[in-house]
Amino acid sequence: MIKNKDIMIKVGAFPIVKENTIFKEAIEKMSEFNLGILCIVDNKFELRGIITDGDLRRMLLNIQKPFSAFFVDDIIKHSKKNPITSFPDEDIKKTLIKMNLSKVWDIPIIENHKLVGLVHLHPAIKNLVSKI
């Protein structure tokens, strides 16, 4: 059985910012990686929220204040709180089912309340296909 921990992207290889990071810096961090997600953590490295590329597009189309004011907001104000998560020892098939049902490409992996990784759809499928 393949588990999330066998194929997850490790911390440091996907974008993570603290909850008091301003929006502009968060977008810059997100752009450093080739993924459509940004994880937001507190000082204990507990996941506080996420932002996806799609969230950014929708926000930019709907903001009701000047861009300059928007870009200095703390990122946590605009994040999805309580995102779908999984655990390192969960079967990757269960995680992929969650992803499919929720129509998401990424699921943060949590252990002892701390962010430890990220399952991204494409590497997960690539890994599973290589085992066939």
CATH number where 37 lies:
3.10.580.10
Tens of pLDDT, residues 91-119: 999 999 999 999 999 999 999 999 999 99
Split at pLDDT 50, 70, 90, the class of 59 is confident
Q: How many domains does the chain have?
A: 1
Specify whether the backbone of 59 is left (phi greater than 0), alpha (psi in -120 to 50) or beta.
alpha
Quote the domain boundaries for residue 55.
4-130
- DSSP alpha helix (H) spans, 10-120: 23-31, 53-62, 67-70, 92-102
Question: Whole-prediction pTM value?
Answer: 0.91
